[in-house]
Structures are given as structure tokens and as C-alpha cells.
Structure 1
Amino acid sequence: MKYAEEFRDPKAAKGLLAQIAQVIDELGATKEKPVHIMEICGGHTHAIFRYGLDKLTPEGLEFIHGPGCPVCVLPMSRVDECVELAERPEVIFTTFGDAMRVPGTKKSLLQAKAEGADIRMVYSPLDALELARRNPDREVVFFGLGFETTTPSTALSIQQAASEEMANFSVFCNHITVPPPIKALLDDPHMILDGFVGPGHVSMVIGVEPYRFIARDYGKPIVVAGFEPIDLLQSVLMVLEQMRDGRAEVENQYSRVVQDDGNPVSIAACDDVYEPRPTFEWRGLGEIDSSGLRIREKYVAFDAETKFSIGYGKGAPRFVPEPEGCACGDVMTGRLKPIQCPQFGKGCTPEMPLGALMVSSEGACAAYYQYGGVDLEPAE
């Protein structure tokens, strides 16, 4: 626990909570008119509920849970395309474990595996690359999924496959970027947001510069945060202090990990392999321009969409509406709390999920369900 205990110190937490309460009071925020702070990252959502920060912070502060879970924002049509790829007899389909139980319109990858599809859980795209080396007579497809945090490892794997001329390896690229959906939320006239707790792991790759528009163009403070309780409380305090002082800036609380300029090696690899898609569909947000990444022409031999003519590789994926009664889109964009979904804990549980938010390790519904949210009273 060395290097972690200081970020979980109860005495330090009590001091920060007292300071937060004081600034909330200075701002005149109340339970009826709270300050709305969105934590963008699903990892932050789980930390907030794991450590009970939602209950410890004053009533004049409300956490809004943002679309910071890449598994959760994936539209159902893309899950269907994963299943379509995986059920090809020549394909070994590889994926991170989080995506296995996300339901498509007919089945999940886990159900497809139970029916005989060769689907294997991996911990890294390098594992998929090794499978391709060991199985030269099979097509190995890696499900490239995630925000800027995971894009470098996929990019480096594609570069390695190219250097080895590995013709049986490809990536179904569903990598997405954080800034465009934040802009979409800020442009939504129905959203009430006063500030942001910024994603720590994403920022470790891209730095803080991509968030400048939030403060410059929208006048909202954002503080990049770590994942321990002291990190989060300190970041919330920093946001509130900016509001009290009439400032709107990008600040970096997670400086022990995040460099302002990001990771230049990772950025260079991503620039080499990817380019922005003209548009990409997000569950709950619709299509957002330049929010997704696709594989550049120089590496098209490793693009599963082109190789197998699916998804955007054949024009565009079909739009699939949410299952009846499922409020994943509204929860993911902060319009509803998970407990306000009529299916929460009833028609949608971790054992029998309707949507990705209940099964992903970063999903808001999973956080509420796991850490006691089922005891909350739904809003009228």
C-alpha cells in the first residue's frame, strides 16, 4: 500500500470535505440549486461510489456521470458487427473482457462464444498478435476499443504487424476520443454543467491541451484528476475554487502521472496509424464529427472493416434503437441517474443486462448496483 495510503488518509479527506463545504456555502449552492460537476471518466464514477464520496460531500454538490466508458458508448450495431466477424469460421476474434457480455440486438460475444464462435479474451493487442503468429492459417481480429488510453497499444501492435508483414492480423477499430463528446454535451441546451473533473488515464496520453476549449470557449473549469479519494476530493475543491474566484482554467491535479504535454511516444504512434473519422455514432449522443479514429490508408491491410467489408467499411453501420425501457443513453449523458431508469435492478441486472452500463467495469449503472445505489430512492 506504499504510495497509496496517503491518498486514502481519512484525516486529509475530512479536511478537504470541510473546505468543500465552505466553498459550497460561499457559492450559495443548496440541495435545491446545487453545483453540477461532471466526472467524465467511468473510473472516477466507480471511485466516487466505492469510497462513498457522493454521500460525504455536501448537499449543494451534485455529481453528473459523463460518457466516460468506451464500452458503454458503443452503439449496439457495432456489437452486432463484432458478433458477425466472430462467427466467421476463418476468424479468431479477440477482445478485452469488458466487451464480452455487452448485448447486441440478438446476442453478446459471450453468447456467440457459447454457440461455438472462436472468441478469446486477451489482456493486450500484443496477445492477439501472438495468436496470429501461432495460427497463420486463421484470420485473427482484435477488437480495438477504448479512448486515448488504449489507442497507443493498438497503434504499436499494428506497426509491429506491418513490420512483420503479418497478413492474417487485423483490427476492428472502435477507438474514440474524449474532447468531441464533451463539446457535444456543452452544446446541448438541456445540460446543466458547472465544471468538470477530467480523465486521468486519457490525459496521461494526450496531456491537458485538448481541454483548453472547455475553459476558453465555454467558461467552465476542468481539473484533471487521479483516482484515489483524496485525488477526487482535491479536484472537486479546485473546480469549486475556480468557480468562487470567477476563473475558468484547465488545471492538473494528477501531476504525479499526467504531464501537461502528454506522452510524445504514444502521440506519435497514434498520429502515424490513425486519422479522425468524419463521423462516428455514440450511444446516447448520436453521430459526432471527428470523434472516432480509423486506420490510415498506409495500414489498410490491417483494417478489419475494409478487409471484411463491415460497418463503415461498407458505407455506414445501421442505426439500432435502444431496447424498450432502456435508458442507457440518458444515463450516459447525465440526463438521468441510473436509479431513475425504470429497468434498473429489475429488467436490467448484472446477470441479465439490457445495456452496457450494467456490465462494464466503468459503467455508471454497475457502480450504483455494486456500491449500494439500489437503495437510493428514484426521483419523481
Structure 2
Amino acid sequence: MTSGIRDIEISKQILEKINFESNNLSKPITIMHVCGTHEYTVAKNGLRNLLPDNIKIISGPGCPVCVCPTGELDLAIELSKRENVIMTTFGDMMRVPSSTISLFKARAQGHDVRVVYGPNDAVELARKNPTKEVVFFAIGFETTTPSVAFELINDPPSNFSIICTHKTVPPAMDLLLNLPNLELSGFLLPGHVCAIIGAKPFELYAEKYRTPMVVGGFEVNDVLMSLYYILRQTIKKEAFVDNTYKRIVKREGNKKAIQYISDVFEPVDSVWRGIGMISNSGLKIRKKFEEFDAVVKFNVKIEEKIEMPKGCSCDKVLIGNIPPQKCPLFGKSCTPRHPIGPCMVSHEGACKIAFSFREIID
């Protein structure tokens, strides 16, 4: 089933098919992916340079760390300064710049900010520290949401709460497919997200916008085969959701995980950093679980502030308007050691990936 996903001879065969079929295109096409891991595979393996000139692949808002609004990060930093609070989060969030400082700098100032591998670690920390309030900065797309929902359903200690910054990917399709000056010919859909919610939620957008969409995995041949399937749909003037990641993704998704999400969270309009408000693209904790909502528990308000630092072009990178290398700060004042914008922080951020693999864009 998976023996060929890393076979270089198969890679060559798929590329030959892509190059052959590209001759049947009436005009150049642009394919967008919305997953940091796909960008990692594309950049690490130099796939952009292997594709024919009339096929372009660009990175979209596939990094949840990058699209986390400054207001929610500011809230986490503010709560971390309280004497009885232990703030916990994934390592990727530590160096993301807010409108003031980062969580990393908050920890350097003496505040109790800790990196955990997941919400279960934060829950265990709360059990071991009953006199402290343990807050988990819950971030991610549908991939990480079920694990947070699972913890809330299973009776966590009363001194545990979360800042919910979860985003959902399908509603972003409307925004991306209506962007001016960006003619998208197809989407490589995120395999991790689709492993949870399935391929079905994207069918509406493929039909509505007559845009080919293919669910893809993360090995080189997964990506190449997905691009080939998008190309084939384009040439045939078809538009539907196909799936080249059937070893993991089912059309209906993981029903148990979907139920966990539905039980704990409800959709809400949400701000994506550098992009703006997207209807029903966020999640908030349902009333019956609000005792674990840090915003309610601490009676604080999230205030939106400046989204991007001065001179930073992450907002343009996130929607595929420019590649990271076109940002005037890229590789100069903004590096992984000294990130100015959020896209240079996470291993899923387009700027950090481009910097790490020294990808050259004409």
C-alpha cells in the first residue's frame, strides 16, 4: 500500500506524466495548498523547480501558529503574569511576536510559562499543582482540536482552563477563492485536517467555485500524485474533491473525533492574523463547558491590536500574494533566531521553511 510513496523511480514517472499532460493546458495554472507540512515537503525536495513552467504551486494559510491573532496571544501573555497562573502551550507558540512581547520573553521575565506536548500534559500539571491555575493555550486546526475536546469531556481538575484559538479550514475556502488578483486553479487539501473531518466538507467549495481539489498525503509521491490529479481535472474541465490519501483519509472522516469537537465546541466568526475575519472559521467553548474557558474564568477580554509588525509581509505570504523571499525583511532582520513576523517561527510557517531550505524563487 505504501511501498512506493518514497520511491524515486515512481517520482520520475509521475513527473513525466505531469510534464506530458501540462502540454494540454490552455494557460498556466496556480495550485494552492493550505498545510505547512505540504510546504515543507515541496520546499525540502525542490518540487517547484521540477514542475513545468506553466504549473505553479503556492502556499496558503496552512499554519495555525501564523494565523493566531495578536489579541489572543496578548491575553495569554497577560495571564502568564498573574502570580497563581501556570501558562502552558506548544513549543511553536513560544516565540511568536504579539503586540508587546512573546511568551518566551514572558518566561525570561520570570513568569511561569511552560512548553507541553499536548493538553493531557497540561491537565496532569493541573492535578499536580492544585493551588495553581493551569491555562492551556489551545491552538490548531481540526487536527489538534479533538485532543482538547477529549480532555474537557473527561472531567479535568477545576484549576484547569484553556484559551481557545482553534480555527477550521473549510470556511477559509470562500475567502481564498474570492481574493482579487489571485486566480487559483486548484487546491491541494490538507491531509492532517481531512484525517479528522474527512473530504466531504470541501465538496461544497469545489462545486460552488468549479475548482479542482485533491486530498494529499505528505511524502513526495503523495504530493506529486495529488498535483497530477488536479492537473487532470483541470484539463478535463472537471471540479470535484478527489482523494490520493485513502490510506488515512475517508470521505466521512473520523466520526468519533468529529463528535468530540461538536460536543465541546461551536462555530464562531474568527479573526485570522494578517487576513481578517472569516465567518464560522473559529470555535468557542459551549456553555456547558465554559467553566474551563479561561476568558470566562478570569473575566478578561480579548482586544485586537496591530496584526503585523512594521515592514512584515506575512499577511501577503499567508494568502499566496507573494513568496516569503519577496518580503523585504526575509533573511535580513527576520530570521528563525530573530523572528519579526509569525511566519518565521513555526516549523509549519512558510517563511521559516523557505529560510531553512534556502529555496530560491525567481
Q: Partners in 2 of 1:334 and 1:201 — Cα distance?
A: 20
Aligned to 1:200: 191
Q: What is the CA deviation profile of residues 128-154 of structure 1, one whole-angstrom value per residue up to 9, with x for unaligned ones? A: 000010000000001110000000000
Superposition map of 1:20-99 within 5 A: 20-29=18-27, 34-99=28-93
Q: Tell me the secondary structure at the aligned position of residue 102 of structure 1.
A: coil
Rounded to whole Å, the distance in 1 between the matches of 2:72 and 2:188 is: 29
Is 1:16 aligned to residue 14 of structure 2? yes
Whether the 8 Å contact between 1:161 and 1:169 is mirrored in structure 2 is no
Asked if 1 retains the 8 angstrom alpha-carbon contact of 2:70 and 2:304, the reply is no
Matches of 2:213 and 2:141 in 1, distance apart? 18
Gap runs ≥5 in structure 2: none
Identity value in percent: 45
The residue aligned with 1:230 is 221
| CA distances 1:184-210 after superposition (whole Å, capped 9, x unpaired) | 111223321000000001000000111
Larger helix percent: 1
Q: Quote the Cα distance in structure 2 between the aligned partners of 1:35 and 1:333.
A: 16
The residue aligned with 1:304 is 294
**Structure 2 equivalent of residue 137 of structure 1:** 131
Alignment check: 8 A CA contact 1:71 1:146 kept: yes
Say if 2:248 is the partner of 1:254. no
Cα distance in 1, alignment partners of residues 114 and 307 from structure 2? 28
Match of 2:230 among 212, 235, 239: 239
Deviation at 1:4, TM superposition (A): 6.3
**Which amino acid is 1:200 matched to?**
G
Q: CA deviation at 1:324?
A: 1.2
Q: Quote how far apart the aligned CAs of 1:344 are.
A: 0.5
- Tell me, which stretches of 5 or more residues in structure 1 are unaligned? none
Aligned with residue 261 of structure 2, among 261, 266, 270: 270
**Distance in 2, Cα, partners of 1:181 & 1:221:** 16
Q: Normalising by the residue count of structure 2, what TM-score does the alignment of the two structures yield?
A: 0.97
CA contact (8 A) 1:42 1:363 kept: yes
* Equivalence for 1:113: 107
What's the RMSD between the two structures over aligned residues? 1.3
Q: Give yes or no for the alignment of 1:354 onto 2:352.
A: no
For 2:326, the equivalent position in structure 1 comes to 340
Whether the aligned pair in 1 keeps the contact of 2:274 and 2:307 (CA below 8 Å) is no
Query: How far did residue 309 of structure 1 move?
Result: 2.4
How far apart in 2 are the matches of 1:281 and 1:317?
11
Distance (Å, rounded) in 2 between the aligned partners of 1:338 and 1:69: 14
Any conservation in 2 of the 1:75–1:320 contact (CA below 8 Å)?
no
SS at match of 1:280: strand
- 2:4 is paired with a residue of what secondary structure? helix
